[in-house]
Structure 1
């Protein structure tokens, strides 16, 4: 569950930014993006739906020189239709563009390219076939998610990765229907599933799946299984006490103050004086006891018995 963020609060670490971006998905985002860099795949980054910027901050960290990073969100503005308006008012009434920008600029020097509009306009703002990674986390309504997935397909490179959030949450059935419709009818190939997100491609998922399986099986904080469904190979990953991957702290980070040294409990009054008296009296007492013992040994006749 996301934590609330006080107004004008600057996050010190990524975990200080509210949002439903769990450690396993932070790990998977990092793994896919670093793999693309290692393979020399260049392309732009796109996020549809940003909330307060938690996943956008991580994505922006992987933008390389010459690449664009675009974020599209309503940021609390009036939604284009009544259904979307009701969802926005219920779930994101406190969302503001200022909060997103404040959080993002705590970690980065410049903002991404922001499209302050419904996600239906994104194909007018981003060129087709230019993106290597698209995160879809905007509306949960079927009609809108279906359009967002179609936009992702148009904008992605052949080897690009799309991530669909909330594809199996109980309160987002519209996302589930749109996601599996894309898999069954529109060529989307699942790469892996986390507890909240579906990672897929319209390219060949085989090579990336094998590399991902090898990487996850080496970890002790993640369980992995492979299943088949409708002739699709599904890699399922589940965190087991996983911590978020390392991420640079923000410019506002302040190290926690050191814990105060424990204060020893107060001694009862008179304790020190009683200890000094005991030390002073101990030698004379021991000396007298030794003398009595020796005197008894000298005057005692060996083998003598008391008369009956």
Structure 2
């Protein structure tokens, strides 16, 4: 299993998974998806750029029956151009598909549909008008983000939501230019802004904004401001001590050691193992990557 940086243990909670997924965005993801489900919107989910799986794991709870969840990432594959290769080498040297899959399978029984390669694969692999929610957190290069926004427009169903990461970070000017260009010239309508993500739609943002404003005003842990810019209502949200939504722990995580107890008191990682037929049945049911980890632990291989 993929270890938490600086330790030898696999992730036990979502917070243990490396990556950038602030509490405010966890709250907003849940709110938008709950609203879609409550209003009967059906459609697939898509994440472009997964890193080590933090937000992908979070989204992996949400597909309903007959809905597909697809993720796309270059992982350790060849970049489509020199600029993207340089970006991947600088920022994502440790990212591998195996690391992502092991993290994901710590929390879920099965993997999502995984597209390994550049995000330019998405238009050929995801049907037009099939998605209700798209999260884009891949390349920071203008040309790629421009293409990713175009792909999101095509795969979203009417009224679907796109979430664009790093729209305002100082180290991602290419994302900022592509996002605001889409708002000014390509019909994207902002719903709201968090600290690092823009939530938008190519439909009418008015009704969802009204519901979002009502939700934010009821909370005592959310700062809110509303501005007008270039004919768009811009709703800005900021956490004021928000707590993360409840998320189940890793399926095979050991119980935490009580404060003050010696490390030897910790139970062994992994599911409880029984002899005989029960052991064989467990081996048949767990994901292959977990079974390999268990076998390696028994034989002393790291």
| TM-score interval (norm. to shorter) | 0.7 to 0.9
Q: What is the aligned partner in structure 2 of residue 251 from structure 1? A: 251
- Residue 244 of structure 1 and its aligned partner are, at CA, apart by 1.0
Distance 1:249 1:42 in 2: 27
Map residues 1-308 of structure 1 onto 2, 5 A cutoff: 5=5, 9-260=9-260
Q: Deviations over 1:1-53 (max 9, x none)?
A: xx963587421111110101000001100110111111110000000000000
Distance 2:125 2:246 in 1: 33
Aligned residues: 259
Q: Deviations over 1:113-144 (max 9, x none)?
A: 00001001111001000000000000000000
Distance 1:202 1:228 in 2: 18
Q: Deviations over 1:56-115 (max 9, x none)?
A: 011110011100000000112120100000000000000011110011111111000000
Distance 1:9 1:67 in 2: 33
Using structure 2 for the length normalisation, give the TM-score: 0.83
Q: Deviations over 1:184-211 (max 9, x none)?
A: 0000000000000000000010010011
Using structure 1 for the length normalisation, give the TM-score: 0.82
Work out whether residues 222 and 240 of structure 1, in 8 Å CA contact, stay in contact via their aligned partners in 2: yes
Structure 1: unaligned runs, 5 residues or longer = 262-308
Distance 1:104 1:18 in 2: 12
Q: What is the aligned partner in structure 2 of residue 298 from structure 1? A: none
Work out whether residues 4 and 10 of structure 2, in 8 Å CA contact, stay in contact via their aligned partners in 1: no
Structure 2: unaligned runs, 5 residues or longer = 262-302
CA RMSD in angstroms, aligned pairs only? 1.5
| Structure of greater Rg | 1
Work out whether residues 5 and 17 of structure 1, in 8 Å CA contact, stay in contact via their aligned partners in 2: no
Q: What is the aligned partner in structure 1 of residue 266 from structure 2? A: none
Distance 2:169 2:184 in 1: 19
